[in-house]
Amino acid sequence: MNSKMIMAMAVAGALAFVTTGVAAQEMLTNEAVLKLLDAGLPAEAVVAKIKASPSQFDLSTDQLIALKNKGVPGPVLAAMLEPKAAAAAELSMDSPDPAVPHYPGVYMFGPSDQRMYRMLATASNQAKTGGIIGYALTGGIASASIKATIPGQNAKVRSGSAQPIFYMFFDESVPRNLAVGSSSVWTTGAGSVTSSPAELSLVRFTEKKGAREARVGSLNIAGSKQGVMDKDRIAFETEQVRPGVFKVMPSQALPPGEYGFIQALTGGNVSGGGGALTARVYDFSIPG
């Protein structure tokens, strides 16, 4: 048997070993590297294998000296020592761990199944004015209320707890290497972006046939006010988990009903009803 045949058999044996290791999802170890070299595989091929495979090397000083004494070439040792690039991270939509990067938005935490549910915003698509007769009869002394109306009698997201836990992921929480598109769900208009739960209001909706309403402004002789009235706001607690990520929970248990976090958008005019047309709502239900 000539030297070429011996080399061919050695390479074939090494390849068979490599294939078996891959099929079994075997981690490359110090012993595996020695086997590949002993089988006659060139150092360049072993280096390529190390870079392409998962590994669990013992790289203590004593082990490195032992590998060198067994004839492991310098380039192979260097490849074993070189840290591998971490797998590309991905944005999650259900991981219960707030340390994991999530798509920006509002999430309700489900304690029963230990996962997060991303809440899609519902747009306020109508404006209603209440108390307009009193406003007109009193020459503006009595206030007229501006109401934001969202479609549907009930929210699609239903909480299993009277004191649900939410997580809000703002743009700051997304690592720079993970692109989420040019537009943000937290854009409020005029170049501004919501970056804190303090910029949202938690309210209880008045339930109407096929819709839900919440006051978002008032108008009287003294002028107009835009935004959720203070007495309509429901208090909630916030805790910053990490930059751009907040844990949010109502301060007290909520009675059964329809609720939502209202994100006010700029550019509206309450006197013209625009305030009601420029709101983004993350709505949810507390079942009875």
Q: What is the 3-state secondary structure (H, E, C) of the chain?
A: CCHHHHHHHHHHHHHHHHHHHHHCCCCECHHHHHHHHHCCCCHHHHHHHHHHCCECCCCCHHHHHHHHHCCCCHHHHHHHHCCCCCCCCCCECCCCCCCCCECCEEEEEECCCCEEEEECCEECCEEEEECHHHHHHCCCCCCEEEEEEEECCCCCCECCCCCCEEEEECHHHCCCCCCCCCCCCCEEECCEECCCHHHEEEEECEEECCEEEEEEEEEECCEEEECCCHHHCCCEEEEEEECCEEEEEECCCCCCEEEEEEEECCCCCHHHCHHHHCEEEEEEEECC
**What is the C-alpha separation between 166 and 170, in angstroms, rounded?**
13
Looking at the whole model, is its pTM more than 0.75? no
Is a pLDDT exceeding 50 seen at residue 55?
A: yes
> Residues with Cβ < 8 Å from 157, sequence gap 6 or more?
108, 117, 119, 283, 284, 285
Give the CA dihedral 242, 243, 244, 247, nearest 10 degrees: 30
Region of poorest pLDDT, from 12-16, 35-39, 252-256: 12-16
Q: Among 42, 72, 39, 48, which residue's Cα sits nearest to residue 58?
A: 72
**What is the C-alpha separation between 155 and 35, in angstroms, rounded?**
62
> Residues with Cβ < 8 Å from 178, sequence gap 6 or more?
89, 90, 91, 101
Is a pLDDT exceeding 50 seen at residue 101?
A: yes
Q: Are 241 and 98 in contact (CB under 8 A)?
A: yes
Is a pLDDT exceeding 70 seen at residue 137?
A: no
Q: What is the pLDDT of residue 222?
A: 43
Residue 125's pLDDT band (boundaries 50, 70, 90)?
Answer: low
Q: What is the pLDDT of residue 226?
A: 55
Instruction: State the average pLDDT for the chain.
Output: 78
**What is the C-alpha separation between 115 and 100, in angstroms, rounded?**
12
pLDDT by residue (tens digit) across 154-207? 999 999 999 999 999 999 999 887 766 667 889 887 678 999 999 999 999 999
Region of poorest pLDDT, from 55-59, 262-266, 280-284: 262-266
CB atoms within 10 A of CB 46: 25
Distance of CA 66 to the CA centre of its chain: 47
**What is the C-alpha separation between 146 and 130, in angstroms, rounded?**
6
Q: Are 76 and 47 in contact (CB under 8 A)?
A: yes
Q: What is the pLDDT of residue 164?
A: 97
CB atoms within 10 A of CB 154: 14
